[in-house]
A and B are shown apart, each in its own frame.
Chain A
Amino acid sequence: MSYEFPSDLKYTTSHEWVNLHDSIATVGITDYAQHQLGDIVFVELPTIGMVLEKESNAGEIESVKAVGELLMPLSGEIVEINEQLAESPELVNSSPFGDGWMIKIKISHAIEIDELISVERYKELVKSEEE
């Protein structure tokens, strides 16, 4: 099975991707993660203004057969959520790194960025999970 692994992003061991721009992090789940979940039918996201810690629950992603959790890759305040997902949750399947983005965080602890993993390490993680 071949998945997309954009090299300009950072990743987490829980299958989120992070796109950093100044102090705003755009977050979604990876192509591997959407494939594992199957057809996504409902995405529940936090409300704007919520302040959440790294690794805490930032939403639920329901597919036909499973429920996945979105975890905060970094601590901070939710400044934007992808409203399109309310009407079109399938965007997470068709465009996990693009229109399927989920939340934008104003990060509070820049030092946490060092704990995100590189695309190479994430590829290895996926490979070992598939075996």
Chain B
Amino acid sequence: MKSEKLNSRKAPLYDVHRKLGARMIEFSGWLMPVQYESIIKEHEAVRSNAGVFDISHMGEFLLKGKDVIPFLQYIMINDLKLLEVSKGQYSCMCYENGTVVDDLFYYEEREDLFRIIVNAGNIEKDFKWLNNHIKDYDVNVQDLSSERSRLAFQGPKTDDLLQPLVDVDLSKINRFYFRHCNLNNMPIFIARTGYTGERGFEISFDKNYSEEIWHNLVNTGASPAGLGARDSLRLEAGYSLYGHEISDKITPIEAGLNWLVKPKEGIEYLGKKVLMKQKSEGTERILVGLNLLGKGIIRENYKIFKNGNEIGYVTSGGFSPTLKKTIGLGLVKKQYKEVGTELEIEIRGKFLKGIIVSMPFYRNV
């Protein structure tokens, strides 16, 4: 049994997780619940009913100033012309060589005020990245990560379960839009976004409300769900995970996120030159979906072969409770990317027959 690292930080809901019998792991410097009862049961609860995830380890910044929009147009590869007040947008920040600093979501509160949610492992890096690029823009970055908590409420029943608790009409919030409202008289930021492939919401609030809001959500009948289920859900939905499908060695085009790279005529942005070239010419390697033809489990870093030649590697893999078999994502040389291509995956010295399949494996949004 692994002992907990004593220098890891405890999320505000740490005691709640322990009381529920959660198995805790160290994740990006935080002690987080990987499962409460069973990864598969939690996964299935989200697909059939609702699940509550503690995502307080993620980062939250506020960007203020009259130049926020031009600044973000320079830093982000997506186009803020598609945004409006009370709407959010998914994007990557890229290096000049097109590889990824982080993937994230930002929300337009006002023309001069944006909220940004970033990955737990990149909070410090992203904060520095933003500040290092402000230069002459009239923009200020405030890090609220440790002042606020975040929860994800995901599943087909979440609208019905949450409506009685909030003072806003949830049916009026379209996908990617957000509101400020109250949950049992506690002010929250609520966005119709998610990482599971199901309908649902992500909420953020002052950390002092953490326990009460957690209990309010679980008492609706939703299941506590840990990082293990969060990973198997996003894998089924085909969503990238930083450090796996995108990273400082992988570009969004290689990860199949062509739609994210916008032309933004007349606007210079970090990585534009390389990314627009990759968008029009393609890349040497590309992300594909994987199945095995027999039994076994695909896992990250397994090598992929075709006729004895190494052609790529697995970026993420695991068991899909919904499809009841193994699924994976991998980067392969472009000439092998067609759906239906048969290949071999090396699993602990054995070469098992696999095949490229279309993505996503599952989605219900």
Contact = CB atoms under 8 A, between A and B. Distances in A.
Contact of B1 (A39, A62, A129): A129
Interface residues of A, number: 16
Given A64-B39, A64-B318, A42 B295 contact: yes
A38 B296 CA distance: 16
Contacts of B228: 38, 64-65
Contacts of A44: 295-296
A47 interface: no
A interface, by DSSP: helix, strand, loop or mixed? mixed
B218 interface: no
A85 B291 CA distance: 21
Given A36-B1, A41-B319, A129-B1, A65 B296 contact: no
Interface residues of B, number: 16
B297 A42 contact: yes
Contact of B39 (A39, A60, A62, A67): A39
B40 A64 contact: yes
B227 to A, nearest CB: 10
B35 interface: yes
A126 to B, nearest CB: 9
A106 B34 CA distance: 40
A8 interface: no
A67 B326 CA distance: 14
A2 to B, nearest CB: 11
B247 interface: no
Contacts of B39: 38-39, 64-65
Nearest to A60: B348
B232 A64 contact: yes
Contact of B319 (A64, A86, A129, A130): A64
A64 to B, nearest CB: 5
B38 A65 contact: no
B117 to A, nearest CB: 26
Interface string A11-38: 0000000000000000000000000101
Interface of B: 1, 34-35, 38-41, 228, 232, 295-297, 318-319, 326, 348
21 contacts: A36-B1, A38-B228, A39-B38, A39-B39, A39-B41, A41-B319, A41-B326, A42-B295, A42-B296, A42-B297, A44-B295, A60-B348, A62-B296, A64-B232, A65-B34, A65-B39, A65-B228, A67-B348, A90-B40, A93-B38, A130-B1
